[in-house]
Structure 1
Amino acid sequence: MSHPLQGKIALVTGGSRGIGAAIARHLAQAGAAVAFTYNSSPDRAEALVRQIAGDGGTAVAIQADASDRAAARSAVTETVQQFGGLDIVVNSAGAGGVGPIEEITDETYDHAVAVNVGSVFHTTREALQHMTSGSRVITVGSINADRIHFAGGTVYALTKAAVAGFSRALAREVSSRGITVNTVQPGPVDTDMNPADSDFAKITRPLIAAGRYGTADEIASVVTFLAGPDASFITGATINVDGGFAA
């Protein structure tokens, strides 16, 4: 088995479930030592650590509320303390905030922005203090930054469009240091928060050119490629992994 990330150290935010967990597994399978954060699911987190270890990888789980800027920064510090450095950051933590704009409370708005935007900013800014040439920053956005097919997605789309813009700007800023910055925008993906057999999926599936929901592993494969040496000339890119949903 090829291990293109052997010797690399990665931090995945929101890594205990869904797409984040798949990313943590794939990075570990590619040879990276992986730290991942979780908020309120310690059992899931520890199960993932055991699974990665059982497959021959290395992982640690770090409890951190993504909406708390101090916790986001501390997760970076703990990763560096645990493994001695940091080469790859994957911003995967996310929050919803979906509903009619008149019904979105200030608390809902603030939480979505804190997790979807603030976590990306604070985690990345802290991580850059430890990153050197060849390092990678990858943010998991959403195809909803480009296309919303349902009413009530204003706040979610706002936050996901924001991080795509942030990544493009940051790519310019850190390119001289040999660091790449990219955004992966999943389309509809089968997770426990957005199952492929839900009523919502019945509306969504006909709009996907591929005719099906994606899998978390399919998103993780793209993220892992961007984290590796073969993606060294890709930066400032927004890559849609959406089955043609936005085609």
Structure 2
Amino acid sequence: MRNVSINQLDDTPRKVVALGTDYSHGHLLPFHTHRRAQLLYGATGVMQVRTSDGNWVVPPQRAVWIPPGVAHEVLMLGVSTRSLYIEPGAVDLGQRCQVISVSPLMRHLLMEAVAAPLMYDRVGRDGALFDLLLHELTRSEVLPLHIPMPAEGKLLSLCQTFLNKPNAHQSPQYWAEQIHISLRTFNRLFRQQTGLSFRQWRQQACVVLALARLAEGEAVTRIALDFGYESPAAFSTMFRRVLGQAPSVWLEAAK
């Protein structure tokens, strides 16, 4: 099904239903929840997902898992989506959102799924297609495209300020001074609140934010300089350390 409201599908007596939707550039889906889990795949464009746990950037040809009942908003940047809405308990990828890889097989299955009738034959070809989709989903690789955020307070404010203007040279000592605590206390608090060291978080935030801009066609040089890196090579080295590939290789794989 394409461009149909999820409310029309939610009570369908099938454990998985598929929906394709095209969004204009810059369309914002405000905070909302689904009774079912959602696999949100962007065939084109970039999605930016936000929950109380943090931010995710979903490059083209990747997907984000959204557990049932999790409030989320999504900014669509030229996106054509293919979504699966999955009954709770049919498959479980965890209680937090996560960006996942999409295999070539899974990509073709998603395209076929949105062409299936709403009341597809559960024991026929379409039923087998959706069963195979769930198997492929459990095999997907989780990608480090999440920026975890502190729950509240001054540390949350500092993280939000950084996301608005990333600076690769900001040090944990500088942040500790901003909230008037020792460096040792800051390092312990930051890991408790985000699950990452400050250095890991800073690098991951820069990579995730850069991916959205790269997918929009911005040059690596411009992004590297905006983020405070001394050269595109220095930025690419950091990018490769986090994702295992250079920016150019990552984007080529998404085409």
Question: Shorter-normalised TM-score: what interval?
Answer: under 0.3
TM-score between the two structures when normalised by the length of structure 2: 0.27
Q: Which structure carries more strand by proportion? A: 2
TM-score between the two structures when normalised by the length of structure 1: 0.28
Q: Which structure carries more helix by proportion? A: 1
